[in-house]
């Protein structure tokens, strides 16, 4: 059942077994897998993706702007999701760095994630290697990842009258007695409010918003005594360091995204490095296909009046090139089963790498208030010199692997300096999970320390996420959490 709080003028309160805050990927996955319970899901947005101005000051962190969406489905409804399980490199990095969240403890839960075919989890990593692309030696081994559009995830979030999805509703206050959250207050922009009473509350509204809610809770009840809440904001760093020139046209197909059974697969070359301060990190190199030329999409936007900002005069040559790119896109997608963006597209070489945890990167509450009269957040984030050194280390090793290639089918023009060092919207580290009160905000059962019925399953609980997109790792953690709930209710 969908309830729009903007239009809801009755019922002062409602009681549930479980209340989930956030209807993004994590929240909907939870709601779809919690059975036989009266359930509420609270979503600030609706069925259209929107931005909400909850950030006051932001130092360089793009993940708070372009990579952050409110609405049913959350950010995954915009970007889809790259599903990639953690590798042996990630496990050894966690072990060597003495990370509180040891990945091995979640390995068994990957197989329960029910949004992809189970075959993905029955094979070893080596069995995914393709001899045609396994060309950079043992230091850079290829792995295919899967991209799923949101609608393929089959979330049945309104399949029961016992599940209530509240849209246009923001959590603005908590009630707590003796460590137990008894209720939350939700509010719409029009001023309508409702009290949600539940036995358990689960925060699953993205790393930044989950941190914000816990900061607000801590401000009111002073739960966190170790000063770790909001500290250590981290992300994957991405940098472009070269451009590819192919010796023959057919060689362009080598690194393109491939399709199988309607699912797009990307190849990445994973590498493990010994970083600064004796830390061990995993990174991967991948090839990005870009076409920034005038395209058929520009023409369609202009014709449909979606955009009137065509910067180039439409000529017969431009029209011909645009339609040729469109024809090639369809041909290669349907016949060759690859994503080809046109003859004028460029292939860039990029690195994604785990950022070193830094206590000076943090999220804090601002004195300024948002539309709902609750504190906005300040974000202080930057790339440190050690991160740049780690990136350059990977580049040098990849250069050597490239130079050792026999019978090269392409040439790489390496840039003098890495370009566009940026984050890629995978925020984590600000409500870390651990085994003691002194080293964590969340315990190993995902319980917020200082409470006995408030849980958090957003990516903010990770102290490290390896070089993998965190989507599948988060779902594995949720599967562990779900098993705990199931055993409790037995």
Judged by DSSP in three states, 221 sits in helix
Most confident option among 70-74, 190-194, 313-317? 190-194
Contact 119, 303 (CB under 8 A): no
Question: Could you give the CA distance from residue 388 to residue 370 in angstroms, rounded to a whole number?
Answer: 36
Joined tokens for residue 334: 């349907």
pLDDT tops 70 at residue 89: no
**Of the listed ranges 116-120, 247-251, 386-390, the one predicted with least confidence:** 116-120
Higher pLDDT, 48 or 185: 185
pLDDT confidence of residue 117? 40
Joined tokens for residue 138: 């043992």
Contact 362, 232 (CB under 8 A): yes
pLDDT confidence of residue 120? 41
pLDDT tops 90 at residue 124: no
Q: For residue 289, give the nearest of 261, 320, 259, 267 by alpha carbon.
A: 267
pLDDT tops 50 at residue 67: yes
pLDDT confidence of residue 127? 37
Residue 117, Cβ density class (10 Å: 0-12 exposed, 13-18 middle, ≥19 buried)? exposed
**Of the listed ranges 41-55, 186-200, 400-414, 474-488, the one predicted with least confidence:** 41-55
pLDDT tens by residue, 218-271: 999 988 777 899 999 999 999 999 999 988 888 888 888 888 777 777 888 888
pLDDT confidence of residue 304? 55
pLDDT tops 60 at residue 116: no
The rounded radius of gyration (Å) of the Cα atoms in the chain is 24
Half-sphere exposure of 415 (CA within 13 A, CB side): 13
pLDDT tops 50 at residue 172: yes
Contact 5, 192 (CB under 8 A): yes
Q: What is the mean pLDDT of residues 34-62?
A: 81
Contact 229, 46 (CB under 8 A): no
Most confident option among 31-45, 97-111, 144-158, 443-457? 443-457
Joined tokens for residue 21: 């805050």
pLDDT tops 60 at residue 129: no
Provide the mean pLDDT of the chain.
Answer: 81
Higher pLDDT, 71 or 366: 366
H or E element at residue 303? helix 296-303
Q: pLDDT-based confidence at 119, cuts 50/70/90? A: very low
Q: What is the mean pLDDT of residues 156-178?
A: 82
Contact 196, 14 (CB under 8 A): yes
Higher pLDDT, 444 or 116: 444
H or E element at residue 316? helix 316-331
Q: For residue 53, give the nearest of 29, 156, 44 by alpha carbon.
A: 44
Higher pLDDT, 490 or 69: 69
Q: pLDDT-based confidence at 430, cuts 50/70/90? A: very high
Half-sphere exposure of 208 (CA within 13 A, CB side): 28
DSSP 99: -
pLDDT tops 50 at residue 125: no
Higher pLDDT, 490 or 208: 208
pLDDT confidence of residue 114? 64
Question: Could you give the CA distance from residue 79 to residue 471 in angstroms, rounded to a whole number?
Answer: 12
Contact 204, 26 (CB under 8 A): yes
pLDDT confidence of residue 93? 64
Domains delineated in the chain: 2-291+345-489 (3.50.50.60)
User: What predicted TM-score, i.e. pTM, was given to this entire model?
Assistant: 0.87
Percent of residues in the chain assigned helix, strand, coil, to nearest 5: 30, 30, 40
Question: Could you give the CA distance from residue 47 to residue 57 in angstroms, rounded to a whole number?
Answer: 28
Question: Could you give the CA distance from residue 131 to residue 41 in angstroms, rounded to a whole number?
Answer: 46
């Amino acid at each position: 059942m969908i309830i729009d709080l903007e239009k809801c003028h009755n019922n002062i309160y409602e009681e549930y077994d479980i209340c989930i805050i956030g209807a993004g990927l994590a929240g909907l996955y939870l709601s779809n897998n919690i059975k036989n319970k009266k359930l509420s899901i609270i979503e600030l947005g609706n069925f259209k993706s929107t931005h909400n101005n909850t950030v006051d000051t932001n130092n360089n962190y793009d993940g708070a702007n372009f990579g952050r969406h409110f609405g049913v489905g959350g950010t995954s409804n915009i970007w889809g999701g790259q599903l990639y399980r953690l590798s042996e490199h990630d496990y050894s990095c966690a072990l060597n760095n003495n990370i509180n969240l040891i990945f091995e403890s979640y390995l068994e839960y990957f197989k329960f994630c029910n949004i992809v075919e189970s075959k993905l989890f029955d094979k070893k990593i080596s069995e995914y290697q393709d001899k045609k692309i396994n060309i950079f030696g043992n230091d850079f081994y290829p792995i295919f990842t899967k991209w799923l559009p949101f609608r393929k995830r089959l979330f049945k979030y309104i399949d029961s009258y016992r599940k209530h999805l509240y849209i246009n509703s923001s959590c603005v206050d908590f009630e707590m007695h003796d460590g137990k959250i008894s209720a939350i207050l939700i509010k719409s922009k029009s001023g309508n409010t409702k009290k949600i009473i539940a036995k358990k509350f689960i925060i699953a509204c993205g790393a930044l918003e989950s941190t914000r809610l816990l900061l607000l809770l801590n401000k009111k009840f002073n739960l966190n005594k170790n000063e770790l809440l909001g500290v250590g904001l981290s992300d994957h760093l991405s940098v472009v360091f070269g451009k590819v020139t192919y010796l023959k046209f057919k060689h362009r197909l080598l690194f393109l995204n491939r399709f199988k059974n309607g699912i797009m697969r990307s190849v990445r070359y994973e590498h493990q490095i010994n970083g600064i301060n004796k830390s061990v990190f995993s990174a991967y190199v991948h090839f990005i296909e870009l076409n920034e030329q005038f395209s058929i999409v520009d023409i369609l936007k202009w014709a449909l009046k979606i955009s009137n900002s065509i910067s180039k005069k439409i000529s017969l040559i431009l029209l011909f090139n645009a339609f040729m790119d469109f024809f090639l896109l369809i041909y290669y997608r349907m016949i060759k089963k690859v994503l080809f963006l046109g003859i004028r597209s460029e292939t860039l070489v990029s690195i994604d790498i785990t950022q070193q945890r830094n206590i000076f990167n943090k999220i804090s509450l601002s004195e300024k208030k948002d539309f709902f009269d609750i504190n906005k957040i300040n974000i202080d984030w930057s790339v440190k010199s050690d991160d740049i050194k780690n990136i350059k280390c990977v580049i040098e090793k990849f250069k050597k692997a490239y130079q050792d290639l026999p019978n090269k089918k392409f040439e790489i023009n390496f840039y003098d300096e890495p370009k566009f060092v940026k984050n890629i919207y995978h925020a984590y580290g600000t409500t870390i999970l651990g085994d003691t009160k002194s080293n964590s905000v969340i315990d190993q059962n995902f319980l917020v320390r200082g409470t006995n019925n408030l849980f958090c399953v957003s990516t903010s609980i990770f102290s490290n996420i390896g070089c993998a997109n965190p989507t599948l790792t988060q779902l594995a953690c949720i599967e562990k959490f779900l098993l705990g709930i199931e055993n409790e209710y037995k």
